Amino acid sequence: MKMWSGRFREPLDPAFERWQRSFPFDQRLLKHEVQASRAYARALRKVGVLSTEELASLESGLDQIAENALISPDFLNDDDAEDVHHFLEKRLIASLGDVGRKLHSGRSRNEQIATDLRLYVRESIDQLYASLAELLEALQTRAEQAGDAVMSAYTHLQRAEPVLVAHWLLAYVEMFIRDAERLQDCRKRVNLCPLGSGAVAGSTLALDRDAMAADLGFDAPTANSIDATCDRDFVVEYVNVLSLLALHLSRWAEEMILFSTTEFGFIELPEAFSTGSSAMPQKKNPDFLELARGKSGLILGNATALQISLKGLPLAYNKDLQEMQEPLFDASETMLALVPLTAEWLKKGGFDLAHMQRAADTGFLNAFAAATYLTEKGVPFRLAHEQVGKAVQLCLEKGCELKDLSLAELRQIGPSFDHDFYSRLSVNAVLAIHDVPGGTAVGRVKQALAEAKQKISMMRGAVHAHA
């Protein structure tokens, strides 16, 4: 039986009936539907709609449904269920009869789906936060292992200045910490309870909304029944947070792919995360990284789809909102799978620190530092820049590095070059002058690593406290 068949004389067109069903995808909300229904049943008991015995049998009926869904996937084979709410009600009625028919008193699927989705997003945020903490820990371990190893930093993908490998890894740590913070911030707006909002105007029963919210671990009930039943901006916000995370992972994956090429040779691809070519026997392809990079397109597409579904919808509930579920599930489940795999990749991928260091020894990564040297001698920076540029030009003609030019050659370019110039050209000397908070001087990076470690361990602590 449908949940709404009373006023209809004709059955649904069978093709339309099949087409409009959300059960094939919203069945993943069943455990949340059970949880929310339990809280609702308790509230019904308090207002006298259910007796103590009826509540007890509803609770055990709900437990049974949750258990059946866990142990037998076939339990969810139901071609008649319109959506997860219909499925649950059908099952309760099948096992409990009229008591099952009472659960929907004063309730609407509009508040139910809003509640289930909030529970789903909250759970996903918590899982993703825990995975991000692991990913961050893997990056932190890599940064610690890199010690004082140096690499070239790039701008415009051209060699720019030497940096500590740890400094480069900490750049990703910063991005992922921001993503974790965004998740937590989003969680605050997710963690409100729509139950008691009814279809649009609020429940017709004097339900204890605070108790239902507390029962489900929500911070408070939502404030407005119209908003609560049609608000999906928590979904949009969450998937937008995911899209930034996906963008960060995509940038990271792209760098790893590039650095794993023979031309760079900085990264050794872990075999466990790569595949061969069916045609070219020598190939080891960075499949994991390519898919990680590619997933960002899917997540951004989902974020866009969600915003467009919501745009222009009049208040309050409209069935269009059902269309927001699949992009949410797709984005969330994609990221929940990707982040732990990325952490594993990071543990297994090889970093050729010696090769990175060699690449930092040539290519005039010390030119900016050389110009800085001249400014310390009183040369205005614009002129210093010009003189070092000329020195680089001379090196290019001679096929050497700045340190190989004689003092006589340098003085022909600018009279301020002196003997102490050479001591300023080594990688270590160049690193040392970037001695500002957030810079790549060894001491600064050590400090940044310690601070990151503290944040990451706080994240880990929060995960454990929550679990």
End-to-end CA distance of the chain: 40
Q: Which is nearer to ligand ARG, 85 or 102 (CB)?
A: 85
Identify the CA nearest to 165 among candidates 257, 259, 245. 259
Cis peptide preceding 360, ω within 30 of 0 = no
Q: Which is nearer to ligand ARG, 40 or 252 (CB)?
A: 40
- Residue 435 gets the label, from left (phi > 0), alpha (psi -120 to 50) or beta, of beta
Q: Which is nearer to ligand ARG, 322 or 426 (CB)?
A: 322
Min dist CB 103 to ligand ARG, Å, is: 16
Min dist CB 204 to ligand ARG, Å, is: 16
Give the Cα separation of 336 and 125 in Å (integer).
9
Q: Which residues pair with 154 in a beta bridge?
A: 159
Q: Is the dihedral of CA 130, 135, 138, 142 positive or negative?
A: negative
Give the Cα separation of 297 and 291 in Å (integer).
10
Q: Per CB under 6 A, which region of 106-114, 230-238, 244-252, 400-408 contacts ligand ARG?
A: 106-114
Q: Which of residues 68-87 bind ligand ARG (CB under 6 A)?
A: 83
Among residues 51, 60, 277, 423, the one annotated as catalytic is: 277
Phi, psi of 112 (to 5 degrees): -65, -50
Min dist CB 81 to ligand ARG, Å, is: 10
Phi, psi of 377 (to 5 degrees): -85, 5
22 binds ligand ARG (CB under 6 A): yes
Contact 213, 195 (CB under 8 A): yes
Q: Which is nearer to ligand ARG, 259 or 317 (CB)?
A: 317
Identify the CA nearest to 62 among candidates 88, 87, 26, 23. 88
Min dist CB 120 to ligand ARG, Å, is: 12
133 binds ligand ARG (CB under 6 A): no
Query: Which residue from 113, 207, 456, 459 is in contact with ligand ARG, where contact means CB under 6 A?
Result: 113
109 binds ligand ARG (CB under 6 A): yes
Min dist CB 178 to ligand ARG, Å, is: 32
User: How many residues contact ligand ARG, by CB under 6 A?
Assistant: 9
Min dist CB 235 to ligand ARG, Å, is: 12
Q: Which of residues 316-375 bind ligand ARG (CB under 6 A)?
A: 317, 319, 321-322
At 14, which amino acid appears?
Answer: P
Query: Which residue from 37, 110, 240, 387 is in contact with ligand ARG, where contact means CB under 6 A?
Result: 110
Q: Which is nearer to ligand ARG, 13 or 185 (CB)?
A: 13
Among residues 156, 278, 419, 466, the one annotated as catalytic is: 156
Q: Which is nearer to ligand ARG, 166 or 331 (CB)?
A: 331
Min dist CB 108 to ligand ARG, Å, is: 7
Q: Which is nearer to ligand ARG, 266 or 329 (CB)?
A: 329
Q: Per CB under 6 A, which region of 5-13, 108-116, 271-279, 291-299 contacts ligand ARG?
A: 108-116
Min dist CB 237 to ligand ARG, Å, is: 19
Give the Cα separation of 424 and 373 in Å (integer).
7
Contact 133, 463 (CB under 8 A): yes
32 binds ligand ARG (CB under 6 A): no
Q: Does 156 qualify as catalytic in the annotation?
A: yes
Give the three-class secondary structure for 144: helix
Min dist CB 322 to ligand ARG, Å, is: 4
The tokens for 256 are 């790893």
Contact 121, 234 (CB under 8 A): yes
The tokens for 393 are 């030009």
Give the Cα separation of 132 and 180 in Å (integer).
7
The tokens for 305 are 């789809």
Q: Which is nearer to ligand ARG, 3 or 291 (CB)?
A: 3
Contact 173, 136 (CB under 8 A): yes
Q: Per CB under 6 A, which region of 42-50, 215-223, 315-323, 364-372 contacts ligand ARG?
A: 315-323
Q: Which helix (H) or strand (E) holds 158?
A: strand 158-164
Q: Which is nearer to ligand ARG, 113 or 163 (CB)?
A: 113
Give the Cα separation of 11 and 5 in Å (integer).
9
The tokens for 445 are 């990076």
DSSP line for 399-463: T--GGGS-HHHHHHH-TT--GGGGGG-SHHHHHHT--STTS-SHHHHHHHHHHHHHHHHHHHHHH
197 binds ligand ARG (CB under 6 A): no
- Sequence-distant (6+) residues with CB within 8 A of 257 are 286, 289, 290, 293
Catalytic residues: 156, 277
Write out the residues near ligand ARG by the rule CB under 6 A.
22, 83, 109-110, 113, 317, 319, 321-322
